[in-house]
Amino acid sequence: MKEKVEGKHIFRCAGLVNEEDLGHYIRIPVLIDYVREYGTDSSYLDEQSVRQFVEWRPEYKNAVFECANGRIENGVFTPAGKKDASRLYTHSEVGKMSKSKYNVINPDDVVDVYGADCFRMYEMFLGPIEQSKPWDTKGIDGVSKFLKRFWALFAHQDQWIVSTGGHPDRESLRILHQTIQRVRDDINRFSINTCVSHFMICVNELKRLDCHHRDILEPLVLLIAPFAPHIAEELWHLLGHKTSVHHGHYPEVIDSYLISDEVVYPVSINGKRRAEMTVPTDTDAKKVEELALALPEIVKWMDGLHVRKVIVVPGRMINIVAG
């Protein structure tokens, strides 16, 4: 904010103020509830935010708020009709919450909207526990959607869909045990935020495989219990257990399931990816080369070219050098 000009306080968008001119301005704290995209480099106040701010600080009811595309005065933006034009960009300070900075968020309000497990996992997901992190309600929506996807592995429209017949496929077992290994390793490193990432990847992969087998989902409930205790407890009892999920044995990694039976090779011609193929893991390099050259997509791209060399990096990639 600049001192009074012609009897009015003038608030200028952070994007309009040069760093060397900051000494001529006063920074005024704004209640975090009014700031859009708080914690990002593009946090801002819009017309509604300015009206809320003025109601909160009535001494500025006659102030002028200057944006890059106009100004807000008496709650009205001029010129009117421009979508997203009335943005008064702010500076979000990343640090501890404090009443003096008006950036305190009541956790009870967040729990009422998203639930305790979502709030808990979002706090973990923000970043390394030793670092300060800005709060952004956009991020918590992502964790909320993840927990809904996790629940959807067990039930759909209030219908229990967990299967118990037969054995789960090897790909689902590989995904489960990779997740167990990664989560256990990261817990030991106190890397809690990456544990949440591993759960998200696991759930997405199991959804892709349409996996609802009890032998996969039950260990997953045990694994996620320290992170989302309430959902885990509910699912544990729905799975038929009488004791608490926290009395169960934390899942152990079975190394044999970590080895994939197949490998997906990206196939490139002169460094540009043109196709991919899946082959058994134990396929030798010569056979991999033959299969790659026989792919219809590769045959099409090789029209008029001569194969000079085929580079096979086992388990990783194939590059055909042609000219």
DSSP per residue, 36-94: BTTTSTT-EE-HHHHHHHHHHSGGGTT-EEEETTEEEETTEEESTT-TT---EE--PPP
**Statement to judge: residues 172 and 278 lie in one domain:** no
**Statement to judge: residues 174 and 202 lie in one domain:** yes
Answer whether 270's CB lies under 8 Å from 285's CB: no
**Statement to judge: residues 144 and 253 lie in one domain:** yes
Q: Is residue 212 part of a domain?
A: yes
Full DSSP string of 151-184: HHTTEETTEE--B-SS---HHHHHHHHHHHHHHH
Dihedral (CA of 242, 244, 246, 247) sign: negative
CA angle 58, 64, 66 (to 5 degrees): 135
The per-residue pLDDT for 52 is 84
Q: Which two tokens stand for residue 301?
A: 């791209």
Over the stretch 83-106, which tens digit does the pLDDT of each residue have?
Answer: 566 788 887 665 555 555 444 566
> What are the phi and psi torsion angles at 27 (to 5°)?
-85, 130
**Statement to judge: residues 289 and 188 lie in one domain:** no
The per-residue pLDDT for 105 is 61
> Which residues, in sequence order, are CB contacts of 44 under 8 Å at separation 6+?
13, 35, 36, 37, 87, 88, 89, 90
Mean pLDDT value across the chain: 84
**Statement to judge: residues 269 and 248 lie in one domain:** no
**Which domain-ending residue is among 257, 276, 296?**
257
DSSP H/E element including 317: strand 317-322
**Statement to judge: residues 177 and 239 lie in one domain:** yes
Domain count for the chain: 3
- Scored b (16 or more CB within 10 A) or e, 256-285 reads ebeeeeebebebbbeeeebbebeeeeeeee
**Statement to judge: residues 236 and 217 lie in one domain:** yes
Assess whether pLDDT exceeds 80 at residue 157: yes
**Statement to judge: residues 249 and 311 lie in one domain:** no
Alpha helices (H) in the chain, listed in sequence order: 47-56, 107-114, 116-125, 137-152, 170-188, 192-208, 214-224, 229-238, 285-293, 296-301
Over the stretch 264-300, which tens digit does the pLDDT of each residue have?
Answer: 899 999 999 999 998 888 888 889 999 999 999 999 9
Answer whether 16's CB lies under 8 Å from 71's CB: no
**Statement to judge: residues 145 and 225 lie in one domain:** yes
**Which domain-ending residue is among 257, 274, 302?**
257
> Strands 317-322 and 44-45, how do they pair?
unpaired
**Which domain-ending residue is among 89, 109, 130?**
89
The per-residue pLDDT for 2 is 53
The CATH number for 271's domain is 3.10.20.590
The per-residue pLDDT for 98 is 53
Average pLDDT estimate for 255-259: 85
Dihedral (CA of 289, 290, 295, 298) sign: positive
What is the span of the domain harbouring residue 301?
262-322
The per-residue pLDDT for 135 is 60
**Statement to judge: residues 179 and 216 lie in one domain:** yes
Assess whether pLDDT exceeds 80 at residue 238: yes
Q: Is residue 211 part of a domain?
A: yes
Q: Which residue has the tokens 């996969």?
A: 216
